[in-house]
Chain A
Amino acid sequence: MSVPHALLALLSEGPKYGLRLQNEFEARTGEVWPLNVGQVYTTLQRLERDGLVETDGDGERSQKRYRITAAGAQELGEWLRTPPELVPPPRDELVIKVLVALQVPGADVQEILQVHRRHVIEVMQRYTRIKADAAQDDVPLALIADSELFRLESIVRWLDAAEVRLKQLPVPPATATAADPRPEPTRTEVTR
């Protein structure tokens, strides 16, 4: 979440005091992203230094009213249209765990996939409860919850796809005969 740009967006409606910016930020993000007033002032200071906002007074910071400048409005417009960083992909811990599990003798990869699937869905249930308990016209909160839910759902879909792909793998001879889940003596024990 870009706090500077969120503040610029709030100021594009008209000049505001720092405290009001803090309240409006929290109200509009469904209070999911709390922001303390110190962060607001530090950010405003930086925006002022960069010429993106200006103030109408020299008094205490709480007495100052902030206004967006033409440069600030242009910056906001550009930021809204700039795609977020999507490549290179973040190193995904879950993908790594599953890839590692494939190498660990005796690891039940399907069971590992299910452990993660259950966990992700439990987190999704919590986000859904936030949405279920909120007023139906609380659009900002629904948007935040949706973004988390769809991100999490993509993990579940990846786990589902992994499950199907692993089932299609030919059974390696080592595990086909091994009713005993312990690694075979000829294999190198993986150090934990």
Chain B
Amino acid sequence: MTCVLELRQVSKSYGSGASEVQALSAVDLSVDRGELVAVMGPSGSGKSTLLTIAGALEDATSGQVLVDGVDVATVSRSDRARLRRRSIGFVFQDFNLLPGLTTLENVTLPLELDGVRSGSARAIGMAALELLDVTEHAERFPDELSGGQRQRVAIARATVGERGLVLADEPTGALDSVSGEAVMRLMRATTRQGVAGVVVTHEAHLASWADRVVFLRDGRVVDETITPAGPESLLATAERR
């Protein structure tokens, strides 16, 4: 497997002197292509900071962040913006779709910003919508879609084109548990296509869709799950009851 995201001894602090807050301390994390990792932790444990640093939206105070093998601190500002547009997709809690744009325009926006010609961008965008089964809504506006459909569009936008890394911050938002599960199913399916995924969540039933769950406490990775055994062993346990 290829490592898409690698955090090496990443620390992040805000402020200085007595008011300094240590948001992350010496975090090591690597996520492979095809792998979905969930990050769990209480409020203020550093989950969102970890995501913004992994997405090159913010700089680490120390340590290295590598996306597709590129150390984001060593590239120019414009190269970093390009890396964000081309390689990294974000899914936010409140979907963050632009209201004045159609579904398809929302999805193709990052491609067009990156200079892809409109005709090709449309074709790539439609392919992403098709994967998430929302092509029939391509010409509709976000406020004409249900919460679940909007989230599908948000995932399509995050994965459109050649993105190798998808970062999601509480991506199921205020959806009910079954719709939330559908989002996690999609995240899992998306990573199976060869994308590396990181999902921040505080809900265990959503985190359990991940291949690996990493636990964050006070800015430190304190624990992680080991690869679960097959479902067979669980059925065997049920049989013994």
Interface, chain A (partner B; CB < 8 A): 31-34, 110, 114, 117-118, 120-133, 146, 149-150, 152-153, 156-157, 160, 163-164
| Chain A residues within 8 Å of B230, by CB | 126, 129
Summarize B's interface: helix, strand, loop or mixed.
Answer: mixed
Query: In the bound complex, do residue B225 and residue A152 qualify as a contact, i.e. CB atoms below 8 Å apart?
Result: no
Query: In the bound complex, do residue A121 and residue B225 qualify as a contact, i.e. CB atoms below 8 Å apart?
Result: yes
| Chain A residues within 8 Å of B18, by CB | none
Closest 7 CB pairs of A and B: A124-B208, A156-B204, A128-B208, A125-B228, A130-B231, A153-B204, A125-B208
Instruction: Say yes or no for B42: interface residue by CB 8 A criterion.
Output: yes
| Chain B residues within 8 Å of A31, by CB | 235
Q: Residues 169-199 of chain B: 1 if any A CB is under 8 Å from the residue's CB, otherwise 0? A: 0000000010001000100100000000000
Interchain CA distance A128-B222 in the complex, whole Å:
23
| Chain A residues within 8 Å of B238, by CB | 32-34
Q: A114-B217, A127-B208 are in contact. List 9 more A-B contacts (CB 8 A).
A: A121-B204, A121-B225, A122-B225, A125-B208, A125-B210, A128-B205, A131-B181, A153-B204, A160-B42
Minimal beta-carbon separation of B192 from chain A (angstroms): 10
Interface, chain B (partner A; CB < 8 A): 40, 42, 177, 181, 185, 188, 202-205, 207-210, 213, 215, 217, 222-226, 228-231, 233-235, 238-239
Closest residue on chain B to residue A160 by CB atoms: B42
Q: Can you list 8 contacts pairing A with B, beta carbon distance less than 8 Å?
A: A31-B235, A33-B238, A34-B239, A114-B222, A118-B223, A126-B230, A128-B208, A133-B231
| Most chain A Cβ neighbours within 10 Å, of B177, B204, B228 | B204
| Chain B residues within 8 Å of A34, by CB | 238-239
Closest residue on chain A to residue B202 by CB atoms: A160
| Chain A residues within 8 Å of B226, by CB | 122
| Chain A residues within 8 Å of B177, by CB | 146
Interchain CA distance A2-B224 in the complex, whole Å:
37
Interchain CA distance A126-B207 in the complex, whole Å:
12
Query: In the bound complex, do residue B205 and residue A153 qualify as a contact, i.e. CB atoms below 8 Å apart?
Result: yes
Closest residue on chain A to residue B229 by CB atoms: A126
Interchain CA distance A132-B204 in the complex, whole Å:
16
Query: In the bound complex, do residue B215 and residue A132 qualify as a contact, i.e. CB atoms below 8 Å apart?
Result: no
Interchain CA distance A114-B234 in the complex, whole Å:
22
| Chain B residues within 8 Å of A150, by CB | 205
Interchain CA distance A122-B153 in the complex, whole Å:
30
Query: In the bound complex, do residue A149 and residue B205 qualify as a contact, i.e. CB atoms below 8 Å apart?
Result: yes
| Chain A residues within 8 Å of B209, by CB | 128, 132
Interchain CA distance A129-B181 in the complex, whole Å:
12
Minimal beta-carbon separation of B189 from chain A (angstroms): 9
Given A32-B235, A127-B234 in contact, is the A149-B208 Cβ separation under 8 Å? yes
Given A114-B215, A126-B229, A153-B203 in contact, is the A121-B208 Cβ separation under 8 Å? yes
Query: In the bound complex, do residue B213 and residue A125 qualify as a contact, i.e. CB atoms below 8 Å apart?
Result: yes
In-complex Cβ contact of B228 among A110, A129, A152 (8 A): A129
